A and B are shown apart, each in its own frame.
Chain A
Amino acid sequence: MALVENIQSNEARISEAMPGDYFALLKPRVMSLVVFTAFVGMMLAPGSINPLIALIAILAIAVGGGASGALNMWYDADIDAVMTRTKKRPIPAGRIAGGEALAFGLVLSVFSVLTLGTLTNWVAGGLLAFTIFFYAVIYTMWLKRSTPQNIVIGGAAGAFPPMIGWAAVTGGISLESVVLFLIIFLWTPPHFWALALFKLRDYDMAKVPMLPNVAGERHTKLQIVAYSLVLAVVAVSPWPLGLAGPVYGAVSILLGLNFLRHAIAVWRMPDGDATMVPAKKLFGFSLVYLASLFSVLLGEALVMKVLAG
């Protein structure tokens, strides 16, 4: 009788969640970026790694990244429910209960870290554990709701994967892997602030203090230009550091100039612009920018490995 009452009051329920709903908790689109950048970090690292171990390491990094996404969705379900971009996620849509997502995220976190640490080394395993902690606790539970600089500091979580891939091969951290980290770290603010500009009302409704709805559009646009400028310079640095060749150098300069052009277009956009076309263009280009940089890095590294025999 009690059970039936609980069901009627919606406190207990029988899940209708499909495996695909659990997969959605892993944020597959973010996971694809994590996999790709971690793989590039692995390929650029000096030294060698058994291909099977490399494959498992990438899988562990992907699952660890996904687990942090599940923990983020568990904690942010209230915010996700009011934002158009996120309200169809499994928890706000009612397909998965918060507690299930929490357990799912915790179990995958533990298993991914143990697998990576055991099969590669504990620097890589430790970095993955720190990444999950940083994203789930530092960013999601603390920064996201408390400061408009949330995405600046929290962006570090998304920037760690190439360092983890590098560490899986070398067992350490070096200037080169920090540069790969910095490229993603500096890319994150203009990427997310461009999104926040045209989703400003969403963040406002969810009471998330993003830069545009706290400091205003003008200040955000200036910050976008400033970060884009630093990003464009830092993104070229793998070339002089010897981590990449002249092809990467030329491509990174051209892409950086294009990024700056888009950022300046956003800066020139009148405040209160209803369509926000330049912001949408910057957001779209930023994805192409990062994917292109890491693709060229990967391409050059593979060519060098083939030439080296």
Chain B
Amino acid sequence: MAENKQDTVEMTDAQKKAQRRRSVALGLVLAAFVVIIYVGSWAKMGASLFDRSL
């Protein structure tokens, strides 16, 4: 157990806070990107997006 402890690093509060904020920001950016691509595809193709034979 003691050996395992040496292999891990305890993050400081500032590091934890920064990591949490970066994770939230990355999540928001990825969600925004998905929305942008969805809305952009819809705007580019319009009605023809749904007008295709199966």
Distance, CA A256 to CA B22, complexed state (A): 46
Distance, CA A18 to CA B23, complexed state (A): 10
Q: Is A230 close to B, CB under 8 A?
A: no
Q: Could you say which interface size class chain B belongs to?
A: 20 to 34
* Contact code string B7-34 (vs A, CB < 8 Å = 1, else 0): 1010110110011011011000000010
Task: Say yes or no: A15 contacts B15, CB within 8 Å.
Answer: yes
Task: Say yes or no: A52 contacts B9, CB within 8 Å.
Answer: no
Task: Say yes or no: A53 contacts B21, CB within 8 Å.
Answer: no
Most buried by B among A19, A56, A115: A19
Question: In the complex, which residues of chain A have a beta carbon less than 8 angstroms from the beta carbon of B36?
Answer: 56, 59, 115
Tell me how far the C-beta of A134 lies from the nearest C-beta in chain B, rounded to whole angstroms.
25
Cβ 8 A contact of B40, one of A3, A15, A111, A115: A115
Tell me how far the C-beta of B17 lies from the nearest C-beta in chain A, rounded to whole angstroms.
8
Question: In the complex, which residues of chain A have a beta carbon less than 8 angstroms from the beta carbon of B15?
Answer: 14-16
Cβ 8 A contact of B44, one of A3, A19, A22, A53: A53
Task: Say yes or no: B18 contacts A15, CB within 8 Å.
Answer: yes
Distance, CA A16 to CA B22, complexed state (A): 9
Cβ 8 A contact of A52, one of B7, B21, B39: B39
Distance, CA A19 to CA B19, complexed state (A): 9
Task: Say yes or no: A17 contacts B22, CB within 8 Å.
Answer: yes
Question: In the complex, which residues of chain A have a beta carbon less than 8 angstroms from the beta carbon of B7?
Answer: 1, 3
- Smallest CB-CB A-B distances: 6 pairs: A19-B25, A52-B43, A16-B18, A119-B40, A14-B15, A50-B43
Interface residues of B (CB under 8 A from A): 6-7, 9, 11-12, 14-15, 18-19, 21-22, 24-25, 33, 36-37, 39-41, 43-44
